[in-house]
Structure 1
Amino acid sequence: MRVEAARRETWVRRSASPVWRGFGVLVAGALPAFAFPESDVAWFAYIALVPWMMLLRTAPTGRRAFLEGWIGGLGFMLAVHQWLIPSLHVFILVLGGFLGLLWGPWGWLVRVMLRGRPSVLRTVAAMGVLPAGWLIIETVRSFDGLGGPWGLLGASQWDVPPALRLASVGGVWLVSLLVVAVNTGLTVLLTVSTARTAAVSGLAACAVAVSAAWIWAPRLENAGHARVAIVQPGVIGGVERRFDRSEELTRSLAGQDLDLVVWGESSVGRDLTNRRDLANRIAALSRQVGVPLLVNMDAPGSDQAGRTGIFKSAVLVGPEGLTGDRYDKMRLVPFGEYIPMRDALGWATSVGKAASQDRRRGTRQTVMVLPGPFLDRLRIGPLICFESAFPDMSRQLVRDGAQLLVAQSSTSTFQRSWAPEQHASLAALRAAETGRPTVHATLTGVSAVYGPEGERIGTPLGTERSASAVYEVPMARGTTAFVDLGAWPLYGALGVLAALGAFEGVRYLRRPGRERRAPRAHTVRASKERPGR
């Protein structure tokens, strides 16, 4: 008994130690990463935040809660982006520490809402306030200059049909709200006996909301099928050898009654406007398979406006050569394709594989119209690599008339990591949000296709494959609520936090004693005035 008591005392002492708490918070913040591919335990997202929130609610002070929010955010950022460590080395700690700061206010907010024995009213408010706070963090870090929306909590639900249905209503943002709300309710159930009824009611409300979305969300109409081929050359050294292998795989597609052939990002290492020989070889392939090819250039050259530099461009090539349809990548990968504030942060190139030269940005999104057997006018919306993580880009393409979203990607630098699976999974979310099938074509895998509701079509091409594959892609008519309304959950989150701020402001102004202190201060000032002045 004494031994057990000593062990309990040791545990309590260590759990109260700032060092042990800091370590625990760092680990707890990293846990949600296991809900994402390649670990891919989607259900884990609904409990992954509970240990972190349990620690935050018991922080001794608000300042300590802020610090533990920051430390947990660092753990989350490092875990979700662990595949970047071989490229950025120690600089990943700088980035993780900077972005982890975003969770500092959230840590403070968790303590405010859940500390001690929260009332039923405070528990109900927490079910809305804490998810709203998390969503604002996801919004801020979604700016491409801050790393972009990689690892959004809702993205962990990429293969869960009810969550994909929810995404069609409010995008990945609404799914993130649901996940954090469930974690909040479970935290209360496990720690606060006086508010368990409120927590159960909140969780039931989440279930009702998902059911309502499932029933209410508009159903899309079937619009036939398109036959799309993906060409994945695999891990091959040298741009010329990669081009040759892509050419060989494309020839094997002849006679398969296709609508489009897609090559991955950087599949052509030269500017086709200057290398007519390469453009002619691709045009010959187009004649052989009977449809246009969507290829991707990554090379020094000039864009359609005459600007010079290195552009990443999706280019459509038909039987007669370049069609004039071209899209230049707009959102570049920080440190991978450019270095923000290079004068100050250029040293990152000396400790990792950061971009030695900045790529140039495109200026507008493009919808390409294809001639061919599918309705004669198949309209595709191209995205390049990192851009498939941005819900607003795919939404805009669909609003501009795109019937099929095509993301060209290359994760060859990160072959033996979680990155290829995570990247491919994003296409499922973009498809579900917009109600448009999405093709994710890569150089080295994972290449995959998803239908209008985010469902997987056919068999993906894994990272070990060098192959081509044809997919029968279901098309759809109609629009989703997300396409019509946009990211309305973000505005709702801002409204919730604004209401909380207003409520706390009114409470502060009505605090007893404020009216008595103000006149006393005035009297002191008046007494110092001398007569006759």
Structure 2
Amino acid sequence: MQTTPRTGRYRWWRAAAAVPAGALPALSFPAPALWWFAYVALVPWMLLLRTAPTGRRAALEGWLGGAGFILAVHHWLLPSLRLFLFPLAALLGALWIPWGLLVRRLLGGAVAAGRASAALVLVPAGWLLSELVRSWQGLGGPWGLLGASQWQVPPALRLASVGGVWLLSLLIVAVNCALVLLVAAPSARIPAAAGVTGCAVLTGAVWLWLPGPAPAGELRVAVVQIGPRGVSESVEQRFDTGEQLTRQLAGQRLDLVVWGESSVGAGLGARPDLARRLADLSARVGAPLLVNVDARRGSAETGGAPGIYKSAVLVGPEGPTGDRYDKMRLVPFGEYIPARAVLGWVTSAGKAAAEDRRPGTAPVVMDLPGAAGGAGVRIGPLVCFESAFPDMTRHLTREGAALLVDQSSTATFQGSWAPAQHASLGALRAAETGRPVVHATLTGISAVYGPSGERIGAPLPGSASAARVYAVPLARGTTLYVRFGAWPVAVALGALAVYCAGEGVRGLRGGPLRRPAPEPTGPPAHTARG
């Protein structure tokens, strides 16, 4: 007689396990910052997917794991989005359905050497496809890309200068895939070991033989962080706090002073008194100020649609220089509601934007006025989570920016992982472009990175209300990433296209599609003799 396993309970256990398995990679990012964990964090999820009894189950477990990943990486949004974060995670989690199917197809059952070799290329490519789609600004942007977990690892940062954060994501998933093969597919251990060795050799070769950025002088940049106390005050008091901190910088031979996002709460055209005070500050410290104006502008000022803009504005001793950058990529739900007519109810379910801010139309590269050593230096401003977009810093670098400046505010998320995650992105952008990055925030964490992604000086923590001067090294030349762009994405998509075409041709010819051998769906059955 044969006993029947309780497959229903077993399957629900698998579905429940997929959520925490997908969430594990979040520990690789700040604040835990267990960068090494990224290279093993996907193994439990992939082991689950490869043993899925059907493609439908693999799709479900890929979806649930993706939702778990989004929830874990963005959990700090819960106080703002509240329960809306869960359907949002479910929506974005669906991007991992194809990856779940791919893992089952290539790693399931008995894996021969040829299929293992293909898996080491195609499984990372499938992951990168998920990252690419969710990197669209309308879906929240490229926050939490797996490669960004390596922001403090010098060899990985050097690799980012070759292929950007995308190449790091491919490398990390390839190592996880090789470990799954080593654990679960004895017949594929040779290509798996070769895959791990190849990743290590590639990283080592780039680290040893690719030259780093060539030095090209230095700028003295002051970061003014108003701090949590200043943010809790009125807009006028916030400006006063920034003014007081900036006055302390007089006599320190500066090239640039940077304030954080939303540091000025009124338009300088409408408030000439604020413009005069900023000009006086510039004259006092002997350097231009890059402030951030979060205010309403009329049609006469915008030359187009009136509304609320977030703008980086350069101010010299004579007043605003005329250089202004309006933030282009706004935060969904935080700064505007996508399809407000349909999703406007979100404002009652969380702290979503009551009114849509207006986006800018083009990036801007600014020329520093003749300061101590800054004459002729061009800066590329970004605002807030725009530092998550590799293409923006690449564009600014190609347009001649020698210094990249991100003005940010994570005041709403103090005490969470968000400030540390945001600050860490500056290291990736610096390494990719070979240009230093100043990440200046309203409330912390403010940090500065050199052209190789190395941290310059001590960051300003969230509790600090201070002005600090950093000696920022400049660099000349260009990186391979700036020159060729996101070529790893093109290679990954090309590999997936070839694979899908091959499977399609195989199906049209009536040949068997490559499917994994069936896996047991529950405990092994026992036969009783009597």
Task: Please state which band the TM-score falls in when normalised by the shorter chain.
Answer: over 0.9
Equivalent residue in structure 1 for 2:71, among 66, 78, 101: 78
Contact 1:232 1:444 in 2 (8 A): yes
Task: Write out aligned runs for 1:235-246 (5 A).
Answer: 235=228, 236=230, 237=232, 238-246=234-242
Aligned twin of 2:505: 506
Provide the C-alpha distance between the structure 2 equivalents of 1:221 and 1:471, rounded to a whole number of angstroms.
19
Aligned twin of 2:338: 340
Aligned twin of 1:103: 96
Provide the C-alpha distance between the structure 2 equivalents of 1:224 and 1:292, rounded to a whole number of angstroms.
19
Describe the SS at the equivalent of 1:223: strand
The answer to whether residue 419 in structure 2 is matched with residue 423 in structure 1 is no
Aligned twin of 2:210: 217
The answer to whether residue 53 in structure 2 is matched with residue 57 in structure 1 is no
Aligned twin of 1:259: 255
Provide the C-alpha distance between the structure 2 equivalents of 1:355 and 1:111, rounded to a whole number of angstroms.
41
Aligned twin of 1:473: 472
Contact 1:217 1:481 in 2 (8 A): no
Aligned twin of 2:457: 458
User: Which fold has the larger relative contact order, with Cα–Cα distance below 8 Å and residues 6 or more apart in sequence?
Assistant: 2
Describe the SS at the equivalent of 2:344: helix
Describe the SS at the equivalent of 1:224: strand
Provide the C-alpha distance between the structure 1 equivalents of 2:456 and 2:334, rounded to a whole number of angstroms.
31
Deviation sequence 1:37-63 (CA, Å, 0-9, x none):
001100000000000000000000001
> 1:345 Cα deviation (Å)?
0.8
Contact 2:116 2:188 in 1 (8 A): yes
> 1:217 Cα deviation (Å)?
3.2
Amino acid at match of 1:17: Y
Provide the C-alpha distance between the structure 1 equivalents of 2:82 and 2:125, rounded to a whole number of angstroms.
33
Deviation sequence 1:430-478 (CA, Å, 0-9, x none):
0000000000000100000000000000000000100010000011000
> 1:198 Cα deviation (Å)?
1.2
Contact 1:14 1:20 in 2 (8 A): no
Provide the C-alpha distance between the structure 1 equivalents of 2:409 and 2:194, rounded to a whole number of angstroms.
45
Deviation sequence 1:75-109 (CA, Å, 0-9, x none):
00000000000000100011100000000111011
Aligned twin of 2:290: 294
Equivalent residue in structure 1 for 2:34, among 29, 37, 41: 41
The answer to whether residue 398 in structure 2 is matched with residue 405 in structure 1 is no
> 1:375 Cα deviation (Å)?
5.1
Provide the C-alpha distance between the structure 1 equivalents of 2:85 and 2:74, rounded to a whole number of angstroms.
9
> 1:181 Cα deviation (Å)?
0.3
Provide the C-alpha distance between the structure 1 equivalents of 2:156 and 2:135, rounded to a whole number of angstroms.
20
The answer to whether residue 14 in structure 2 is matched with residue 21 in structure 1 is yes
Aligned twin of 1:173: 166
Provide the C-alpha distance between the structure 2 equivalents of 1:304 and 1:90, rounded to a whole number of angstroms.
37
Deviation sequence 1:264-295 (CA, Å, 0-9, x none):
00000001111000010011000000010000
Deviation sequence 1:124-172 (CA, Å, 0-9, x none):
1000001001111111100110000000000000000111001000000
Moved more, 13-22 or 54-63: 13-22
> 1:13 Cα deviation (Å)?
6.2
Describe the SS at the equivalent of 2:459: strand
Aligned twin of 1:350: 348
Describe the SS at the equivalent of 2:345: helix
Contact 1:327 1:362 in 2 (8 A): yes
Judged with a 3 Å threshold, the aligned counterparts in structure 2 of structure 1 residues 254 and 170 are, in CA distance, closer, same or farther, namely: same
Contact 1:218 1:481 in 2 (8 A): no
Provide the C-alpha distance between the structure 2 equivalents of 1:512 and 1:221, rounded to a whole number of angstroms.
56
Describe the SS at the equivalent of 1:271: coil
Contact 1:382 1:405 in 2 (8 A): yes
The answer to whether residue 440 in structure 2 is matched with residue 441 in structure 1 is yes
Deviation sequence 1:17-74 (CA, Å, 0-9, x none):
1221111110100000000000110000000000000000000000110011000000
Task: Write out aligned runs for 1:387-402 (5 A).
Answer: 387-402=386-401
Describe the SS at the equivalent of 1:332: coil
Describe the SS at the equivalent of 2:65: helix
The answer to whether residue 192 in structure 2 is matched with residue 199 in structure 1 is yes
Provide the C-alpha distance between the structure 1 equivalents of 2:156 and 2:9, rounded to a whole number of angstroms.
38
> 1:209 Cα deviation (Å)?
1.6
Provide the C-alpha distance between the structure 1 equivalents of 2:511 and 2:218, rounded to a whole number of angstroms.
69
Contact 1:299 1:310 in 2 (8 A): yes
Deviation sequence 1:393-420 (CA, Å, 0-9, x none):
0000000000000000000000010000
Provide the C-alpha distance between the structure 2 equivalents of 1:18 and 1:239, rounded to a whole number of angstroms.
55
Provide the C-alpha distance between the structure 1 equivalents of 2:269 and 2:131, rounded to a whole number of angstroms.
40
Amino acid at match of 1:269: G
Task: Write out aligned runs for 1:243-392 (5 A).
Answer: 243-302=239-298, 303-371=301-369, 372-374=371-373, 376-392=375-391
Contact 1:169 1:217 in 2 (8 A): no
Misfit runs of 4+, over 4 Å: 12-16
Equivalent residue in structure 2 for 1:231, among 185, 207, 224: 224
Amino acid at match of 1:456: R
Q: CA RMSD in A?
A: 1.6
Moved more, 475-484 or 500-509: 500-509
Provide the C-alpha distance between the structure 2 equivalents of 1:58 and 1:108, rounded to a whole number of angstroms.
11
Judged with a 3 Å threshold, the aligned counterparts in structure 2 of structure 1 residues 16 and 189 are, in CA distance, closer, same or farther, namely: farther
Moved more, 195-204 or 216-225: 216-225
TM-score by length of 2: 0.93
Amino acid at match of 1:266: S
Aligned twin of 1:88: 81
> 1:502 Cα deviation (Å)?
2.1
Aligned twin of 1:149: 142
Aligned twin of 1:6: none
> 1:239 Cα deviation (Å)?
1.1
Aligned twin of 1:120: 113
Provide the C-alpha distance between the structure 1 equivalents of 2:360 and 2:30, rounded to a whole number of angstroms.
30
Q: What runs of 5+ residues in structure 1 fail to find an aligned partner?
A: 1-8, 515-533
Provide the C-alpha distance between the structure 2 equivalents of 1:55 and 1:425, rounded to a whole number of angstroms.
31
Amino acid at match of 1:342: R
TM-score by length of 1: 0.93
- Whichever of the two has the greater Rg, that structure is 1
Describe the SS at the equivalent of 2:373: coil
Provide the C-alpha distance between the structure 2 equivalents of 1:42 and 1:14, rounded to a whole number of angstroms.
37
Judged with a 3 Å threshold, the aligned counterparts in structure 2 of structure 1 residues 218 and 481 are, in CA distance, closer, same or farther, namely: farther
Q: What runs of 5+ residues in structure 2 fail to find an aligned partner?
A: 514-530
Moved more, 298-307 or 109-118: 298-307
> 1:16 Cα deviation (Å)?
6.7
Provide the C-alpha distance between the structure 2 equivalents of 1:145 and 1:509, rounded to a whole number of angstroms.
37
Contact 1:168 1:217 in 2 (8 A): no
Provide the C-alpha distance between the structure 2 equivalents of 1:219 and 1:456, rounded to a whole number of angstroms.
15
Aligned twin of 2:128: 135
Provide the C-alpha distance between the structure 2 equivalents of 1:179 and 1:161, rounded to a whole number of angstroms.
15
Moved more, 211-220 or 323-332: 211-220
